Chains A and B, each alone.
Chain A
């Protein structure tokens, strides 16, 4: 049954000291779906993503990814994880970074293909430290894609990426989803939210609402997703 969901987070609670980062989150992402996780800074998006890769151990509740109870090292070769800040080795080249992340995932790599996707073919021999912030972000995304993951977790992937390339990224995400890759992406950019098949609104470590962009708008009684988001997350504060 659980195989139907690529990600199955069940009533997960996680506290750091007195701060409750996740307060009973239940969330299911279907195979091949693009799921957008929306929420303000500090709402628990990153903690939730880290719990899905097994970097955060829940205090209670369970996480299942690709049919395996997390933590499970073996499924990580099928998971691509892009951290919020571009986590790369600054003193080696773009290509060396890609080959490294491909090698540790143990999957067959498609270095040339991902370089094309992020438009860094010309800079493949450049040392990462010499790249601009946007280029680093693109290189970081490439490192998350290089081993052809079946589940892709992206923590605010398009920060610092120009609008033109952002559109390209999303086209690529759609192609990947169509080919069966599940994508969970956190964002607070609303035009990105519009491109997701389903959205989850997260605040104070709780999932406040879920649905397609249209459903979210309808639930809030507005035509504007940004307004809907503010309205829905505001309601929880009352």
Chain B
């Protein structure tokens, strides 16, 4: 190993990026766009869907519930004629309508509360707030009769924790892994397709020097990106962080190293840059689906849990969440496992990368 030759590879990579503004933009602007969008989606406030209310009850209960619904922030209510209801669902002006039929109060006094709820039905996600709002309204009406006072405590985080805190912790690692992987696999493949790899192989460079040179170059870029993403997440998006920032950074270093070497390794199996891009749905998407970023691993069907358990990204995501949401440190056995698996994967792909780079191309 010659430091001089490794430095030459690293220097050349950084020069290439200095000239290539578009790739720089991909590396440094794309993460902010993705995270910013995610933040705005989750925290930007949702618009309440329109729900029609038709009160045909002669008694007081229907009116009480209707006025409770009006106050709900989850939905926006409109008074309608029940005969028009279905037509309004069809033309899309309403997402649901609720009818309190004649004799609703009398039935309620007998212990049966039976509002009629008509849902549009094709958008599962939008129905939930309607039913939730109705339940809240019923509870508030019932609460005047009985006391309902559960006492709730949180082990970690708390009431203020929202979806962005949960997803943000995972996305910080995922974005870095994904972008560094794509950039490495493409630039390494270009090295093959433009014939320069042949030249490198006909020089005194050793395989390990090429891989280490690449690793240092991309890791430098990845770390700059990691600092940027972390600052943006913590100070602009204000993603909850309970743990040590250096620990988060350490995770990102490991993920960057893994992504670079995975890229070098997989570039062996593609002939063109076009084929390389096709590795994204093959390698990245299943990992995103199964690593617990979107759906917690514990809620997956059992066979898929086995798959999740062998994906390195599962441990990275888990580790980042433990640090940021629970304030985990290296004395926690769970975090030791996460760090161990991610570091192990990193070493594995480094050797896989060096192994596939055969000197003799034929």
Contact = CB atoms under 8 A, between A and B. Distances in A.
Interface of A: 14, 16, 50, 53-57, 71, 73-74, 76-77, 79, 81, 83, 85-93, 96, 100-101, 103-106, 127, 143
B214 to A, nearest CB: 13
Interface stretch (B15-23, B28-36, B123-131, B263-271): B15-23
Given A83-B199, A87-B194, A87-B198, A57 B19 contact: no
Contacts of B16: 89, 91-92
Interface residues of B, number: 28
A76 B196 CA distance: 15
A57 B361 CA distance: 9
B168 to A, nearest CB: 34
B204 A74 contact: yes
B200 interface: yes
A108 to B, nearest CB: 12
Contact of B194 (A16, A89, A143): A89
A20 B194 CA distance: 26
A80 to B, nearest CB: 9
A87 B15 contact: no
Interface of B: 2, 4-5, 7-9, 11-12, 15-16, 19-20, 194-196, 198-206, 359-362
A100 B8 contact: yes
B221 to A, nearest CB: 15
B215 to A, nearest CB: 16
A89 B12 contact: yes
Contacts of A74: 204
Contacts of A88: 194, 196
Contacts of B8: 100, 103-104
Given A103-B5, A127-B19, A55 B202 contact: yes
A93 B19 CA distance: 9
Residue among B195, B199, B361 having the largest count of chain A Cβ atoms under 10 Å: B199
Given A50-B362, A106-B5, A79 B196 contact: no
Given A55-B360, A91-B19, A106-B5, A96 B204 contact: no
Contact of B202 (A76, A89, A106, A127): A76
